[in-house]
Amino acid sequence: MSHRIVLLHATPVAMAPIHSAFKEEWPEAEIINLLDDGLSTDRAREDQLSRSMIDRFVRFGRYGYDMQAQGILVTCSAFGPAIDQLAASLPVPVLKPNEAMFQEALEQGKKIGMLATFGPAVETMTEEFDSYVKEHGLSATLTTVLVEDAIDLLRNGDADSHNRLVAARAKELAHCDVIMLAHFSTSRAAASVREQVSVPVLTAPHAAVKRMKASILSGKE
């Protein structure tokens, strides 16, 4: 029996990494893609996630649930409060893109580094990280490096330059116990980043798929 997982995308560049992760970690799952790339465009124009954007995202997610989704995985990291609201309104697992990666990182140390390429996502991800640390009674610090212009290169089809830009900043986080690549799209740079540092480098897609698979097969959210 296959399980239908709906992926909510706010940018096309997040799609290939999560598809690859599902092929490697859970090929039996039935994947449905919903894309509204206007979400990331409009989110980039807001300093804070607005009420109207939250409502819009929740409507987007509920449409995915109406497709008989058994689980929903969000692939964009800039909509944390909206994902929380969506999750509270649905009876199926709704996963944020990065929570599983946070858990893996915190299992490996207290000094956590993060390479990000989409500025509007940094604040919400930092808040999510801090909340996760507090909720689990942990002691940890997060140091983030924002790689300007990398995501624009990727959107224009230049993945090689994206990867080089991200990798070039990795040494700024070499003192950390582990480095997280903030977004699903950033996972393309994993090999290049690992060539620059000796600490573990984590990507969000594989961690998220493993978490979703465990949630569905165990019957738990």
pLDDT at 86: 98
pLDDT confidence bin for 221, thresholds 50/70/90: very low
- pLDDT at position 199 over 80: yes
- pLDDT at position 52 over 90: yes
Do both 45 and 89 map to the same domain? yes
Report residue 115 as tokens: 């390479």
Triad 198, 207, 143: Cα angle to 5°: 50
Do both 62 and 105 map to the same domain? no
Structural domain boundaries, residue 180: 99-204
- Taking the model in full, what pTM does it have? 0.84
- pLDDT at position 36 over 90: yes
- pLDDT at position 117 over 80: yes
Taking CA atoms, 74 is separated from 25, 93, 200, in Å, by 17, 11, 24
Do both 93 and 135 map to the same domain? no
Do both 88 and 145 map to the same domain? no
pLDDT at 219: 72
Do both 76 and 166 map to the same domain? no
Do both 62 and 131 map to the same domain? no
pLDDT confidence bin for 114, thresholds 50/70/90: very high
Do both 33 and 83 map to the same domain? yes
Do both 75 and 103 map to the same domain? no
Read off the pLDDT of residues 167-196 as tens digits, 9 standing for 90 and up.
Answer: 999 999 999 999 999 999 999 999 999 999
Tally of CA atoms within 13 A in the half-sphere of 38 that contains its CB? 5
% the chain with pLDDT above 90: 93
Q: Please count the structural domains in the chain.
A: 2
- pLDDT at position 140 over 60: yes
Q: What is the arithmetic mean of pLDDT over 7-23?
A: 95
Q: For position 86, which CATH number holds?
A: 3.40.50.1860
Counting other chains too, the contacts that 26-32 makes at CB distance below 8 Å and 24 or more residues apart are: 26/209, 26/210, 26/212, 26/213, 28/2, 28/3, 29/2, 29/3, 29/4, 29/5, 29/213, 30/2, 30/3, 30/4, 30/5, 31/5, 31/7, 32/4, 32/5, 32/6, 32/7, 32/64, 32/67, 32/69
Do both 84 and 146 map to the same domain? no
Do both 82 and 105 map to the same domain? no
Q: What is the arithmetic mean of pLDDT over 60-74?
A: 98
